[in-house]
Amino acid sequence: MTSIDQPLNGKIILITGGASGIGLSLTKQSHALGARILVADLRTTPDFDAFASDKSNDIVYVQSDVSRWSDFSKIFDACEKKWNDVPDAYGICAGLFEPPFSNFWHDPEDEGYKQVEVNVSHPIKLTRMAIRKSLGRGKRASVCIIASIAGISGSVAAPLYCATKHAVLGFVKSVKDTEPMTGVKITTICPGLVKTPLFTPDKVAQFSVKDEAALSPDTVAERMLDLLQKKEYGCGSMMQIDLGGPKEIPEWNIPAPVGAGTGQELNAGDETMKAMLKPIQETLGKERGAKL
């Protein structure tokens, strides 16, 4: 069984995090292609509500927390109830970026990292369920998981986030030879800086986010649709996308990303790096009981 083109016209796509950011862009572009869309998110947004208000036949919203696996059953049940079917495609977009409640340096958690649950456990578990549901229906499917350029590099200010995105790449590499067994294609995309709601005002200040260095959510969603639909991107494909354009990431000998928005242009004396480290140094200062 080889990869095939899987156009979304007339098909069902499940998008986690589909009410904002890249997920919302994917929702809008999938609808323009003629897809029916199952949007799973913690809450809606005014932009999503306005877009979906007159599209109840084609767009179903399911309030869900992707860190709760029991909510996945609720999502699939909604799909069965609405369309008597399971999804043909999956845009796994929900994620966290070092929020105050799940942050390596602030370290507020006692019973596991929420960021790992959302960024790692959620895409892996949902992919496994996608395989099971597709096999049960005897149908092909395609999965694309949002990783990050942080999955092929690192950041002292976001080590937990980077670790989760490295995990996504490791997972996709590991399943690259499974499509002949399952009929499900699994790919990932690694965007550079993208201006989304993940960049709250404090994060914009800390990471010195500038619009001219950022990709648009629409650009990332367009490339996700390529990965989901086109047979040229086989199972295990990993795409890097930054202001220099898209390129596939080889399994070995990955060249370092370059340019604005990749994080690799910074150095220790740079004002941007100082801003990035400021909240970390403040936290460590509170924890320091004696001079090192």
Q: Report the interhelical angle of 122-137 vs 159-174 (nearest 10°).
A: 30
Helices (H), 60-174: 69-83, 114-116, 122-137, 159-174
β-sheet bridge partners, residue 16: 40, 92
To the nearest whole percent, how much of the chain has pLDDT over 90? 77
pTM: 0.90
Per the prediction, the chain carries an average pLDDT of 93
Tell me the mean pLDDT in the region 255-271: 71
Q: Please check the confidence at residue 168 and state whether its pLDDT lies above 60.
A: yes
More confident residue, 45 or 266: 45
Tell me the mean pLDDT in the region 88-100: 97
Q: Are strands 141-146 and 89-92 parallel, antiparallel or unpaired?
A: parallel
- For 162, the 3-state DSSP assignment is helix
Q: Looking at residue 164, what is its pLDDT?
A: 98
Tell me the mean pLDDT in the region 203-216: 90
DSSP H/E element including 15: strand 12-16
Q: Please check the confidence at residue 291 and state whether its pLDDT lies above 90.
A: no
- Are 17 and 220 contacting, i.e. CB atoms less than 8 angstroms apart? no
Domain segments of the chain as ranges: 12-287
**Angle 27-28-32 from CA coordinates, rounded to 5°:** 115
Quick one: which of 70, 45, 215 has its CA closest to 61?
A: 45
Residue with tokens 């994917």: 26
Q: Which two tokens stand for residue 67?
A: 């860190």
Q: Are strands 238-242 and 89-92 parallel, antiparallel or unpaired?
A: unpaired
- Are 71 and 117 contacting, i.e. CB atoms less than 8 angstroms apart? no
Q: Looking at residue 271, what is its pLDDT?
A: 82
Q: Looking at residue 269, what is its pLDDT?
A: 66
Q: Which two tokens stand for residue 85?
A: 């079917």
Q: Looking at residue 277, what is its pLDDT?
A: 84
Q: Looking at residue 288, what is its pLDDT?
A: 78
Tell me the mean pLDDT in the region 242-260: 84
DSSP H/E element including 12: strand 12-16
Q: How far apart are CA 151 and CA 167, in angstroms?
A: 8
Q: According to CATH, what is the number of the domain 12-287?
A: 3.40.50.720
- For 114, the 3-state DSSP assignment is helix
Tell me the mean pLDDT in the region 2-13: 94
- Are 158 and 95 contacting, i.e. CB atoms less than 8 angstroms apart? no
Q: What is the phi/psi pair of residue 232, to 5°?
A: -65, -20
Q: What is the phi/psi pair of residue 12, to 5°?
A: -110, 130
Residues 6+ apart with CB under 8 A from 56: none
